[in-house]
Each structure stands twice: as structure tokens, then as C-alpha cells.
Amino acid sequence: MFVCTGNTCRSPMAEGALRKLLEKNHSGKFEIVSSGIAAGVGFPATKFAQEAVKIWEIDISQHMSQPLTEDLIENSDLIIAMSTEHYHEVSRINPGADEKTYLLKSFPDMTGFGESVEDPIGMPLDQYNEVFLEIGECLGVNLDQIIKLMEAKSYAE
């Protein structure tokens, strides 16, 4: 699960990016979701977020926002936060989730300290493009480790 603020920009773009990266060899093997610490229910990804992901031929037009909840945290094997604020909110809701929660730009470090992915809300499309490419690069560089963590959790169940 990816976590951001409103679940309409960064986390849906990350969700789409990871699905795309898994498409060739791991399609349908893992459930990828996203949520937001201040998200409403049922809002679409922003138009610019939908546009930015098209760089990788991703469609997030059906995305609907959802708030971060205890159930989502419990049901997630791996949680990747976009900022330290998001990381700490996961920990506040469920202190035991520290063992499966990471900050995207510090992955695979589990301390929750590091640089955040900038929130592009209200910014022009080129800023969304930059944020999406940054998210995609972080996921791509760490893809093997992300897959290993997800596989380890799914085999343990």
C-alpha cells in the first residue's frame, strides 16, 4: 500500500507505476492499493496525475481515493509512504506497522527519516511529470527488493 495525503496524486501514481513494473513477470500476483492520511472517499486522481502516468502508458482514471485506516494497515504486507508525515501517521494508527513501513525515497531503510516526495497538488503538469518520474525511478531501482518483501509476506501467510 502506498500512502500520501489526499490519495489523488502521489499514491495513485505510485500504485499505477508499481502495477506497470510488475506487469510483465508478476501480473495479478499482488494486490496494490493506496490511501491518504487526509483523503476523502471516492475522489478520482487529479487530471494532471492521470496525465503524468500516461508517460508509462498507465491508466489511473478509475482510481477512487480512500482514507488510511487501521484495516488497510493490518491487511497490507508492505506500506510505502511518500513523506515522513505519512510514515509517522501509519505508526500512530498502528505502532506495530513499523516493521512493514518504509519511506519511498529512503527505501529500504526503515527508520522513517529522509526526503519526502514533493506534493504536486495545485502545481502545473510539468511538476506532476517530475514527481511521477521520481516515483517511478525509486520503484524501479528497488523493484527486486520490493518483490522479495511482498513474496516473503505472501508466502508466510
Angle formed at CA 25 by CA 68 and CA 139, multiple of 5 degrees = 45
Q: Provide the grid cell at 3.
A: 500512502
Q: Which of 92, 98, 119, 144 is catalytic?
A: 119
Query: Residue 98 catalytic?
Result: no
Q: Which of 10, 71, 109, 126 is catalytic?
A: 10
For residue 82, the Cα-to-chain-centroid distance in whole angstroms is: 7
Query: Residue 109 catalytic?
Result: no
Contacts 24+ apart (CB under 8 A), 135-141: 135/10, 135/13, 135/14, 135/17, 135/104, 136/17, 136/21, 136/56, 138/104, 138/105, 138/107, 139/14, 139/17, 139/18, 139/21, 139/104, 140/21
Q: Which residue has the cell 527486486?
A: 144
Query: Residue 119 catalytic?
Result: yes
Which residues are known catalytic residues? 4, 10, 119
